[in-house]
Structure 1
Amino acid sequence: MTQGAWAMGLFGDKKTTQDAKSFPFTLSDAEWKKRLSPEAYHVLRDHGTERAFTSPLNDEKRAGVFHCAGCDQALFKSSDKYNSGTGWPSFTQPITPDAVGTSTDYKIGVGRTEVHCANCGGHLGHVFEDGPAPTGLRYCMNGVALAFKSGE
């Protein structure tokens, strides 16, 4: 096994490049565990994935804004949400280009583009190039990583 493969995370290292970055909103691990539910902590801080079709936000259709469940950063508008059929809330684009950041995730052995909150670094999901117009992108997010605020 090569050292490079370990560095790229090919053998189960759940951490990605954003872990080494500083973010405007930071808490200690103990503070995150107090702030978040166990499920939200698993996704946002440990880069986990919730089971498909388990989030009530997948079926959310009201007008509003989806925020980061960790730090309350506005992330996605409901007008950019669509039913991708995947079982996770999906969006064509973030609310602003700088609301989210991306990094390459090798957790499953192939590179995927991970999406994280630009404010706190929390793992949100992944972005794929199989979405509808106008962007052709599918921001496939874990519902437990989001908090919905209607009417914004």
Structure 2
Amino acid sequence: MKYLFALILLVSSLFSSHAQSFFTLQDSAFVKGAVLRKSILFGYDSFSILPESLPFLDSLTVFLNKNKRLQIEVGNHSDERGSAAYSRNLTAKRAAAIVAYLISKGVDANRLSAKGYNASKPVIVHAKTEAEHQQNRRTEFMILRTDYTY
């Protein structure tokens, strides 16, 4: 079975001077091992998810509730600054916070796992600029199974 995270950014505002962003995920062709990278925003030195990230997570919830045979890992990554122990703890808590949010929206807990990777898998090794560090600070949603039975 194949699935896709087709990420579409829609910006609309008909009745307000401030546009709101929201995301939708749609079906198509991702398979086991496929990864969707997203910068989920958290408070500084915190595992509290910021409101700007909720539209994406809500769309992910709808997608997962529609595709109940998918099992995913939520992996959170840090940049290479800071101690390994501190980063490992924070990334684990951030991944767990995302999983808890998805569960609170009706996704079966057995279909989700959380993993904090700290800086062990950087996109850019030895990042120097803030933009490079930002690329390393990310959340990855990886499809573990497409044949989960509940």
Determine if the TM-score, normalized by the shorter chain, exceeds 0.5: no
What TM-score does the superposition give when structure 1 sets the normalisation length? 0.25
What TM-score does the superposition give when structure 2 sets the normalisation length? 0.25
Higher helix share: 2
